[in-house]
């Protein structure tokens, strides 16, 4: 068997085209949606991701602003900036690029962003809303994974899904979103003893560990959908995911590669959340 590729780059482009049309309509009667991105310090990967987010905003017509702060910025200074942005009516979405320098408490920062401007979907109120099924912004990476599975009409109802990794921004919300789609979900992590046994039972595997070749061909049930969320560098310094893509593709039914899979979808779903934040705010104002 040779797996079908779930092309995140192409899917992200089609999401962005849809958003662009929406934003053009908004601009005819009102203003464009606005996103402020905050980057603290000079982490090279974060600089690339932030640049890509700003460019993606511009491509779909979202007004974006980048607040670049030095690595020595204190937590109090960052929180004060967030309070200012929370109160600014021209700002629909706020995003603080992670990771933050070690002296800043990430959770404190996330909780300071107004939940209705938290387009990353990391605020505890948004996580809680998604868990209870009452709405809220969805964390962009797992939201992108769901869109990728839906794009190939993967039947999630009754499927056994294995999420490998339990981070707050990917693993845990991923499990909830798969559950919402009526999958039977298992979450594996660094203390899981029988990973291979669990993986062989799975119809869907989402690998979000941050370690090369955590998922190998001998762990995959023939025909399974394998979504790679890892972002690692191999021995040659080349970007790779958590899945041994070349070998797993011989067994799986669907596979999403790194690069060109979940990464572009993370940015597309950020744009989608920003547009949603804008629409919700307009609705509130007109009520």
Ligand X SMILES: Nc1nc2c(c(=O)[nH]1)N[C@@H](CN(C=O)c1ccc(C(=O)N[C@@H](CCC(=O)O)C(=O)O)cc1)CN2
Which residues line the annotated binding site? 165-167
Q: Residue 15 or residue 140: which is nearer to ligand X going by CB?
A: 140
Nearest to 264 by CA among 172, 175, 167, 144: 144
Can residue 120 be called a binding residue for ligand X (CB under 6 A)? yes
Which of 48/124 has CB closer to ligand X? 48
263 part of the interface to ligand X, by CB under 6 A: yes
Bridge partners for 38 per DSSP: 67, 96
Annotated binding site for NADP(+): 165-167
Residues of this chain, 63-102, that bind ligand X according to CB under 6 A:
95-98
Nearer to ligand X, 161 or 267 (CB): 267
**Closest distance of CB 64 from ligand X, Å:** 14
Contact (Cβ atoms closer than 8 angstroms) between residue 267 and residue 56? yes
CA distance 285 to 92: 13
Tell me if 255 sits within 8 A of 228, measured CB to CB: yes
| C-beta of 144 vs 198, nearer to ligand X | 144
129 or 232: CB nearest ligand X: 232
Q: Answer yes or no: are the C-beta atoms of 204 and 229 closer than 8 Å.
A: no
Among 106, 181, 259, 280, binds ligand X (CB under 6 A): 259
Beta strands in the chain (DSSP E): 4-5, 34-40, 63-69, 93-96, 160-164, 184-188, 204-207, 225-228, 232-233, 239-240, 254-256
Give the per-residue contact string, 227-246, with ligand X (x = CB under 6 A; - = no).
Answer: ----x-------x-------
Is 250 considered catalytic here? no
Residues 6+ apart with CB under 8 A from 4: 152, 253, 254, 255
Q: Does the protein bind ligand X through residue 124 (CB under 6 A)?
A: no
Q: Which of 164, 267, 275, 277 binds ligand X (CB under 6 A)?
A: 267
3-class secondary-structure state, position 228: strand
Catalytic residue check, 117: no
The values of phi and psi at residue 170, to 5°, are -125, -65
120 catalytically annotated: yes
Binding part of the chain for ligand X, among 80-88, 125-133, 189-197, 257-265 by CB under 6 A, reads 257-265
Which of 19-27, 56-64, 211-219, 260-268 is the region at the interface with ligand X (rule: CB under 6 A)?
260-268
Strands 254-256, 239-240: parallel, antiparallel or unpaired by DSSP? unpaired
Q: Does 258 bind ligand X (CB under 6 A)?
A: yes
Residue of 92, 116, 120, 242 with catalytic role:
120
Give, as one character, the DSSP assignment of residue 116. G
Q: Is 268 in the site for ligand X (CB under 6 A)?
A: no
Place of tokens 């794009």: 151
Residues that bind ligand X (CB under 6 A): 48-49, 95-98, 120, 140-141, 231, 239, 258-260, 263-264, 266-267
Residues assigned a catalytic role = 53, 97, 120
């Amino acid at each position: 068997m040779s797996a079908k590729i779930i092309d995140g780059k192409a899917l992200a482009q089609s999401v962005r085209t849809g958003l662009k049309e929406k934003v053009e309509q908004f601009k005819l009667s009102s203003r464009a949606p606005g996103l402020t991105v905050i980057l603290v310090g000079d982490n090279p990967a974060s600089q690339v991701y932030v640049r890509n987010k700003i460019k993606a905003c511009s491509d779909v017509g979202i007004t974006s602003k980048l607040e670049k702060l030095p690595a020595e910025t204190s937590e109090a200074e960052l929180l004060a900036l967030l309070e200012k942005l929370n109160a600014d009516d021209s700002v629909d979405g706020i995003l603080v690029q992670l990771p933050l320098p070690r002296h800043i408490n990430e959770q404190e920062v996330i909780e300071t962003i107004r939940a209705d401007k938290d387009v990353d979907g990391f605020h505890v109120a948004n996580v809680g809303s998604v868990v209870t099924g009452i709405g809220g912004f969805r964390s962009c990476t797992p939201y992108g994974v769901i869109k990728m599975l839906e794009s190939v009409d993967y039947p999630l109802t009754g499927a056994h899904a294995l999420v490998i990794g339990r981070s707050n921004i990917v693993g845990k919300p991923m499990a909830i979103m798969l559950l919402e789609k009526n999958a039977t979900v298992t979450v594996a992590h660094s203390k899981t003893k029988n990973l291979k046994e669990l993986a062989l039972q799975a119809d869907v595997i989402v690998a979000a560990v941050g370690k090369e070749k955590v998922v190998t061909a001998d762990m995959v049930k023939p025909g399974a959908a394998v979504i790679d969320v890892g972002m690692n560098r191999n021995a040659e310094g080349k970007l790779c995911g958590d899945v041994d893509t070349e070998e797993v593709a011989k067994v799986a039914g669907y596979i999403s590669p790194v690069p060109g899979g979940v990464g572009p979808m993370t940015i597309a779903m950020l744009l989608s959340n920003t547009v949603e934040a804008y629409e919700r705010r307009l609705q509130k104002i007109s009520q």
